[in-house]
Amino acid sequence: MKAYLIEKYGDQSAVRAAELPDPKPGADDVLVKIHTASVNPLDFKIRDGAFKRILPYRLPLILGNDLAGVVVKVGSAVTRFAVGDEVYARPDKDRIGTFAELIAVHQDDLAHKPATLTMAEAASLPLVALTSWQALVEKARVRPGQKVLIHAGSGGVGTIALQLARHLGAHVATTASAATTALVEELGADVVIDYRTQDFEDILDGYDVVLDTLGGKTLEKSLRILKPGGKVISIAGPPDADFARELGANPVLRQAMNALSFTTRRHAKRRGVTYSFLFMKADGEQLREITRLVDAGRIRPVVDRVFPFEQTREAMEYAEKGRAKAGKVVIATV
């Protein structure tokens, strides 16, 4: 099969096309012919080696974290899927590699594709939808009437988190550009703050939950707009000890991660709020919940542009340089 991989960590020049043996599925695996995959910031971080201490991948490594496709083979223990099924997934963190023609995915990480979506739309969803679900439903337990701030509402995570927060009954604010105001309002934002001309810290106060997708100064300010007992859940801030425990990291690495987030957690504690880091997990059951919301019209994907498979490097560059106006960049293998 053809795939796009890295043999060493580095910038975009490290990504190359290669011919590789087809994957061999295990007893619990489903072999999927990939029709579409989507590009995520996580792909750049893995390529750059930003997570090499946390996620020690063996190189060469096929990149890619989202897929939609068709089942071409199932393992002997597979019970949920059959050849010919249309499926989508975010593979487990240890088994990524969707910038390829084929992939073997554990059946627990897979779900049937929403019937209402194209392959391109379906591939844009798994990572960002699972991130939104695990942040807002699992960690924050958002309830009707709560005030939720979602940063970068026109981004991949933001476009889905806005819709999920609205579905959960929250009052939703977001940061976005003036050009995407109409879109984020349509997706569920009650308050839109133009990050180029306004400071959300001057406008918002008494919020229950912030989903931080940017880190840095944005994370610092987010702590200050929460009411006592509020929560900041970040996918861009420093990792914490809970994340280290989820990874099964050794005590030294757990202590190191705890140190990275010490200042942020201290500031949060002083304000009577909490900070937690989220690195989303593959979960087929949660993806099935998301499928039901999609097919019920509660959530719709936002796709900025679709690139052919031969332009995978160009698709990554387009996304990394922030050229997408809103939503996700997708790669079509078929």
CATH number of 127-277: 3.40.50.720
pLDDT over threshold 90, residue 241: no
257: confidence class by pLDDT, cuts 50, 70, 90: confident
The Cα–Cα gap between 167 and 112 comes to: 22
120: confidence class by pLDDT, cuts 50, 70, 90: very high
290-306, pLDDT tens digit by residue?
Answer: 999 999 999 999 999 99
Q: Where in the chain is the domain with CATH 3.90.180.10?
A: 2-125+301-332
- In CATH terms, the fold of domain 2-125+301-332 is Quinone Oxidoreductase; Chain A, domain 1 (3.90.180)
The Cα–Cα gap between 113 and 81 comes to: 12
* Peptide bond connecting 251 to the previous residue in cis, omega within 30 degrees of 0: no
178-217, pLDDT tens digit by residue?
Answer: 999 999 999 999 999 999 999 999 999 999 999 999 999 9
Reference 34, options 135, 105, 115, 130; nearest CA is 105
- Helix 284-295 and helix 126-133, axial crossing angle in degrees, nearest 10: 100
Which of 90-104, 141-155, 159-173, 251-265 has the lowest average pLDDT? 251-265
Retrieve residue 36's tokens.
Answer: 């579409």
Do 279 and 239 form a contact (C-beta atoms < 8 A)? Answer: yes
What pLDDT is attached to residue 245? 79
Q: Where in the chain is the domain with CATH 3.40.50.720?
A: 127-277
Q: How far is CA 331 from CA 15, 84, 90, 112, in A?
A: 15, 21, 15, 20
Q: What percent of the chain has pLDDT above 90?
A: 91
pLDDT over threshold 80, residue 326: yes
251: confidence class by pLDDT, cuts 50, 70, 90: confident
Q: What does the pLDDT average to over 240-267?
A: 83
Q: Are strands 191-194 and 67-74 parallel, antiparallel or unpaired?
A: unpaired
